[in-house]
Amino acid sequence: MNVPPDPFAPDPLAAGDDEDMIEPEDPFAAFDPNGEPEDAQVAMCASLVINWLGTSKSSWVSGGDVWTITQKICDRLDFPTFNRVKDLVKAYLEGRMVRYGMCWKGHVAYYDCTHPKLQAARFQNAHETECRECGAPRYLPRVQRANGTWEPLRHVKEFYYQPMGPWLGDLFRRPDLAPYLANDAVGSPGSVRRSHGYRDKVLDNPVMNQDHRNQGLIATADGIPCFKNKNASRGVVPVMVRTTMQDGIGLDVRNVHMVALCPDQHWVVHPISGRVKRSKRKTGVLTAITTLMADELLHLYDTGVQVIDHSLPLDDVTRVFWLRVMLLYWIGDYPGIAEAAGTMSSGGHCCHWCKQFFPWNYALHRTTHCHFRPFLPQGDSLREANRGWGPEPCIEEVADRTHEEMCDDAEASEAFEGGFDNPAHPRFSSHVCYVCPLAYLPMWDMVWDFMADFMHILEGYIKRHMLPMFKGERYPAKPDLVREHAGTERHVRR
């Protein structure tokens, strides 16, 4: 079985001191864009063909034919050979995208973390044949061919991981972009760089403020349905990271990095026919992805990655430097936050900010709002009075969570040996199911570093609730209780 390369292994070009780091050979170095007009034309034609190869997803054969035609049109004997360009492209892509097997529910990635903080057994799964959490098999049953040989092992589910180190190096390869990456640049009003958290994590952090080019990253994840047809693939879950550059630049798709992509399907064996088919089901836990991210981020913070700043001249001693990185916060909708933080997201869930219980009302198709009353101040009429349509007067206080309590609850859930669905499982009282690998990151807060996606707040609360109410098109109303024939009550909305 082929073992994928370790994306966090030391780069052979980065070995030794900064002076020993050499830049990769450029096959177009003989061309001078500012010299003869023919040189600029040849370089432009070559870059257009390479761009065409990437956008059209053409094979090497068709790409070689187009390259040969371009070479003849340019009529240059020293035009780079296609094999040399292929080697350049392969070297560029090496280690930039790796496929890893994972539990089909998302509990574990079959990978051994290398950072010293992640040496617990739960983070060492490269040689496991089943999931530690749910016992799901790692591989499909092997099939024997007609000639007696066996087909290679096949993962039940895989996801794609693109390390952050090469992407960060690519950002500094653009001289026009590198000046905007300075972390001490004053941000626009409302930007992340003006926040207290950014000052604490980056500007006042003795590890991060050693170089003004060290980066604080923002992560986000969400489920994306690829097709509306229910018989087609459900979709994917991409995990993106971006820098804190000004929004007009940092949010540009060209400058955002998709660090992981998890499909909403896996392979299963039909119990009757024995055939392998796809099962369409969304991944409900992001632990497999966050494990790899945490391992790489810890290395990027402690050691860093050696990067060439192409905005500086060749004789500048700071042109080659060790770039350090830390994760600032994670954005997601509420189910996505629960999937990343390791908390329960359905069935009367409790959020990661507090310990208040919010049961789901199936008649209203939403969380029961009366259970938000502990957040009201003491003496509030809605908190104290029982008007016949809500529960008894609220007397309990809201218990806020802390980072330490989240970690302790996660450890208690991990240590329980009675089965995940056992009613005595600690998760049913704490609502914390798993150890989130992000908790091991420096200065990470399991309570406040998971932030709600403002897009959902804007669409669901401001656009559909607040604005219509301000316009007089919608009026807040309590639910009515309607008596049914069996003596039961159901809620209806006005």
Q: Mean pLDDT across the stretch 29-54?
A: 67
Can you tell me the distance from the alpha carbon of 282 to that of 106, in angstroms, rounded to the nearest whole number?
10
Quick one: pLDDT at residue 115? 96
Can you tell me the distance from the alpha carbon of 336 to that of 390, in angstroms, rounded to the nearest whole number?
30
Quick one: pLDDT at residue 453? 84
- Under 8 Å between Cβ of 292 and 109: yes
Q: What contacts 24+ positions apart, CB below 8 Å, involve 196-199?
A: 197/328, 197/329, 198/244, 198/328
The DSSP 8-state label assigned to residue 137 in this structure reads B
Given pLDDT bands bounded at 50, 70 and 90, which one contains residue 231?
A: low
Residue 325 or 14, more confident: 325
The domain spans of the chain are 18-93, 96-332, 340-492
Q: Which two tokens stand for residue 326?
A: 């830390």
Q: What is the DSSP string of 81-110?
A: PHHHHHHHHHHHHTTTSEEEEB-TTSS-BS
Quick one: pLDDT at residue 191? 84
Quick one: pLDDT at residue 492? 45
User: Does the structure show a pLDDT above 80 at 447?
Assistant: yes
Given pLDDT bands bounded at 50, 70 and 90, which one contains residue 242?
A: very high
Residue 46 or 110, more confident: 110
Given pLDDT bands bounded at 50, 70 and 90, which one contains residue 494?
A: very low
Beta strands in 106-204 (DSSP E): 158-161
- Under 8 Å between Cβ of 447 and 401: yes
Quick one: pLDDT at residue 467? 86
Q: Which two tokens stand for residue 464?
A: 């559909």
pLDDT in tens, 421-444: 888 888 888 888 888 999 999 999
Half-sphere exposure of 62 (CA within 13 A, CB side): 7
Quick one: pLDDT at residue 2? 45
Across the chain, what does the average pLDDT equal?
80
Residue 200 or 454, more confident: 200
pLDDT in tens, 311-328: 999 999 999 999 999 999
Beta strands in 311-468 (DSSP E): 320-323, 325-332, 360-361, 366-367, 450-452
Q: Mean pLDDT across the stretch 389-415?
A: 77
Contacts of 94 (CB under 8 A, 6+ apart): 5
Determine which of 79-83, 95-99, 301-305 has the lowest per-residue pLDDT on average: 79-83
Quick one: pLDDT at residue 256? 92
Can you tell me the distance from the alpha carbon of 102 to that of 113, in angstroms, rounded to the nearest whole number?
14
Angle at CA 169, nearest 5°, toward 11 and 47?
105
